[in-house]
Chain A
Amino acid sequence: MSPATSQAIDLMFAEIGRALLLIAGGDVEVWQVTGVSFGVSVTAVAAAVALGLPATYLLAAAGPRSTRIGLWAAHGLAALPTVVVGLTLYFMFSASGPLGWTRLLYTRAAMALAQLVLALPMIVAVVLGALHRLPPAARESLATHGVPWTRQMGWLLWEVRSAIVTGTLLAFARAFTELGAALIVGGNIRGATRTLTTFVALEYNRGDDARAIAVGLILLTVALVTNSLMQAVLVER
Chain B
Amino acid sequence: MSALRGPVLRTRQLAVGYAGKAAATIEDLDLVGGVVWHVTGPNGSGKTALLKTLAGLLQPVSGRVERPCGMGRGGAIYVHSVPYLFAGSVQRNLDLSLPAPEEARVIATEFGLSTLLEREARSLSHGEQRRLALARAIVGRPSLLLVDEPEGGLDEDAIAAWRACALRTVEAGQPALVVAAHHPCALEDVPVCEVRL
Contacts and interface: CB of A to CB of B under 8 A. Distances in A.
Contact of B71 (A137, A138, A146): A146
Interface string A165-197: 000000000000000000000000000000000
A101 interface: no
A137 B80 contact: yes
A14 interface: no
A28 B72 CA distance: 61
B77 A145 contact: yes
A149 to B, nearest CB: 12
Nearest to B72: A146
B136 interface: yes
B76 interface: yes
Contacts of A145: 72-73, 77, 96-97, 136-137, 140
Given A140-B78, A146-B140, A158 B87 contact: yes
A150 to B, nearest CB: 13
A143 B84 contact: no
Contact of A137 (B56, B83, B88, B96): B83
Chain A interface SS verdict (over half): helix
A141 interface: yes
B83 A144 contact: no
Interface residues of A, number: 15
Interface string B32-55: 000000000000000000001001
B57 interface: yes
Contacts of A155: 86, 96
A144 B57 contact: yes
Nearest to B137: A145
B75 interface: yes
Contacts, number: 58
B106 interface: no
Contact of A144 (B78, B82, B86, B88): B78
A27 to B, nearest CB: 46
Nearest to A161: B87
Contact of A143 (B57, B83, B86, B88): B57
Most chain A C-beta atoms within 10 Å of own C-beta, residue among B55, B56, B80, B88: B80
A143 B87 contact: no
B136 A138 contact: no
Indicate the size class of the contact surface on chain B: 20 to 34
Contacts of A146: 70-75, 77, 97, 140
B177 to A, nearest CB: 15
Contacts of A140: 52, 57, 78, 80, 84
B49 to A, nearest CB: 13
B84 A138 contact: yes
Most chain A C-beta atoms within 10 Å of own C-beta, residue among B52, B75, B84: B84
A135 interface: yes
A140 B70 CA distance: 14
B71 to A, nearest CB: 5
Nearest to A158: B87
A155 B136 CA distance: 15
Contacts of B52: 140
A147 interface: yes
Contact of A141 (B56, B70, B80, B88): B80
Interface of A: 135, 137-138, 140-147, 155, 158-159, 161
Given A138-B84, A144-B56, A145-B137, 20 more contacts: A137-B80, A137-B83, A140-B78, A140-B84, A141-B86, A141-B96, A143-B56, A143-B72, A144-B55, A144-B57, A144-B78, A145-B72, A145-B97, A145-B140, A146-B74, A146-B75, A155-B86, A155-B96, A159-B86, A159-B87
Interface pairs A-B: 8 shortest CB-CB:
A146-B72, A137-B84, A144-B78, A145-B97, A146-B73, A141-B84, A138-B84, A145-B96
11 contacts: A135-B84, A138-B86, A143-B57, A144-B76, A145-B72, A146-B71, A146-B140, A155-B86, A155-B96, A158-B88, A159-B86
